[in-house]
Amino acid sequence: MAQAPALPTGFELPLEPRLPRIGSVDQVAVEARATDLSRRSIKREAKLFALDLAVRMMDLTTLEGADTPGKVAALASKAMRPDPSDASIPSVAAVCVYPNLVQTARERVGDSGVKVASVATAFPSGQSPTDLKVAEARRVVELGADEVDMVIDRGAFLAGRYAKVYDEIVQVKEAIGETHLKVILEVGELGTYDNVRRASLLAIAAGADFIKTSTGKLSSSATLPVTLVMLEAIRDVFEETGRRVGMKPAGGIRNAKQAVQTLVLVHETLGLDWLTPDLFRFGASSLLNDVLMQIRKEKTGKYQSPDYFTID
């Protein structure tokens, strides 16, 4: 992997000439557009289709100080077989855990096809020296992670030190090789949609396979307008270069309705090509059970008690 090019201190990203201009985002208009799209009425077979997709796209997540091997093993089982009473429910895309629990998750999911994702780079704050962050990313891959969810250094970003943010992503990418890299922007700390767009393009330029909204540790996370802004950045990169970058909203998506609204956003912004777990994931913990409940409601016409869905 080549050394990251040196950057001037301004906002001159090392974007290829063919990459889109950075541009700006109009807050009022982007929020209005997201609201408009959230009003699409998705019913019956169209809804069932979206709910099934939402399960297959899920990164089932637990990121607590109190996580134990027992907790993670249970989560991994749920990931492979979300609804034991309905064989048509697919397994989720991945389980997402802290580095110390990667091995437990790895052993439990085995060769089921469910991936193991680990957060890294001093998650959630990212406030550690670069070499430690790079070492941590390398180590989680050794421990068996298929995917690494790294955080950007928001302190550096907000101080205008974009080159540092960029370099770190490049170094982490280099350290983990072919392992799938998701870059968390932590949009709740970026303050403006303009910053979300800049950080998205910067992460993509530095080599992110996916861009991800949030750590889940803040109250402000994967809102529809934020997701839309990031999807539009992905679309601009695709239109200019043909490169497909994935998207992962995380945090704040707690019910099936929000998940369906988000998928409508993806469908009408990026088209059908992005409606696959290869290019779109939901980062969530409590979302899965609501989706399962809605699927059963669509199939049987009745709501069932939450007691029928396992808590893991």
Partner 1 sequence: MAELEQRGDRTPAPAKWEYASAPESREIVNLQERYGLFVGGEFIEPRSGEYYRTLDPSSEEPLAEIPQAGAEDVALAVSTARDAFEDGWSAAAPAERAKYLYRIARILQERSREFAVLESLNGGKPIRESRDVDLPLAAAHFFYYAGWADKLEYAFPHRRPKSLGVAGQIIPWNFPLLMLAWKIAPALAAGNTVVLKPAETTPLSALLFCDVLRQAELPPGVVNIITGDGATGAALVKSDVDKIAFTGSTEVGKAIQRELAGAGKKLTLELGGKAANIIFDDCALDQAVEGIVNGIYFNQGHVCCAGSRLLVQESIYEPLIEKLKRRLTTLRVGDPLDKNTDVGAINSRQQLEKIEELVAAGKEEGAEIYQPPCRLPEKGYWFIPTVFTNVAQSYRIAQEEIFGPVLSVLTFRTPDEAIEKANNTPYGLSAGVWTEKGSRILWMAQRLEAGVIWANTYNRFDPASPFGGYKESGFGREGGRHGLEPYLDFDGAEAFGG
Catalytic site positions: 149, 212, 248
Closest CA to 11 of 177, 145, 183, 205: 205
- Between 224 and 263, how does the x/- string for binding to partner 1 read (CB under 8 A)? --------x------x------------------------
Q: How far apart are the first and last CA of the chain?
A: 41
> What one-character DSSP code corresponds to residue 2?
P
218 in contact with partner 1 (CB under 8 A): no
Q: How many CA atoms lie within 13 A of 129 on its CB side?
A: 3
β-partners of residue 114 are none
| Cβ proximity to partner 1, 127 vs 276, nearer residue | 276
The separation between CA 17 and the C-alpha centre of its own chain, rounded to angstroms, equals 28
> At closest approach, how far in Å is the CB of 103 from partner 1?
26
Rule CB under 8 A: is residue 40 a binding residue for partner 1?
yes
Does 64 bind partner 1 (CB under 8 A)? Our answer is: no
Measured distance CA(58)–CA(93) in Å, rounded: 5
Stretch that binds partner 1, among 33-41, 75-83, 160-168, 299-307 (CB under 8 A): 33-41
For residue 83, the minimal CB distance to partner 1 (Å) is: 18
Report the residue number, 133 or 182, with the smaller CB distance to partner 1.
182
24 binds partner 1 (CB under 8 A): yes
Stretch that binds partner 1, among 4-12, 28-36, 139-147, 158-166 (CB under 8 A): 28-36
Q: How many residues bind partner 1 (CB under 8 A)?
A: 36
95/67 Cα distance (integer angstroms): 13
Q: Contact 287/253 with Cβ under 8 angstroms?
A: yes
Q: Report the amino acid identity of residue 104.
A: T
Choose, by CB under 8 A, the member of 6, 45, 219, 311 that binds partner 1. 45
Q: In the numeric block, which tokens belong to residue 100?
A: 């110390």
User: Of the listed pieces 42-50, 80-88, 100-108, 214-222, which binds partner 1 according to CB under 8 A?
Assistant: 42-50
CA nearest to 147, candidates 113, 178, 107: 178
If binding is defined by CB under 8 A, does position 56 make contact with partner 1?
yes
Question: Angle at CA 187, nearest 5°, toward 287 and 9?
Answer: 155
The site for partner 1 (CB under 8 A) is made up of: 20, 23-26, 28-30, 32-33, 39-50, 53, 56, 232, 239, 267-268, 272-279
